[in-house]
Amino acid sequence: MAAKLKKGDKVVVLAGKDKGKEGEISSVSPKTGKAVVDGLNIAIRHAKQSQNSQGGRLPQAMPIDLSNLALLDSNGKPTRVGFREEDGKKVRFAKTTGEAV
């Protein structure tokens, strides 16, 4: 199945502790159905000090389920994503505005 959300997309969180917050997708894992969004779903990870890195409590963005993310359209509103053919190519489009993403 084609990916409705891709790396670099601006999204809004629909559910969870970060509900309503917006961010940009930094990576997507289609196999697990999750995506990492910059600055959202932050967890503290403890790292041991090494020769080239300082140890301590490091904030890290954790994956969010794709079902809890919605693409932001050109108006800045959450929208669902659909697919259609344009000039023989399959393109994603925002269901609210009908514009190609």
For 61-79, the pLDDT digits (tens) are: 999 999 999 999 999 999 9
34, 62 Cβ separation under 8 angstroms: no
User: Which pLDDT value is given to residue 1?
Assistant: 57
39, 23 Cβ separation under 8 angstroms: yes
Cα–Cα distance list, 23 to 1, 20, 47, 63 (Å): 24, 10, 26, 13
Query: Residue 3: which pLDDT band, with cuts at 50, 70 and 90?
Result: confident
Cα(3)–Cα(28) distance, integer angstroms: 9
77, 10 Cβ separation under 8 angstroms: no
Q: What is the mean pLDDT of residues 22-48?
A: 95
- pTM of the predicted model, to two decimals? 0.84
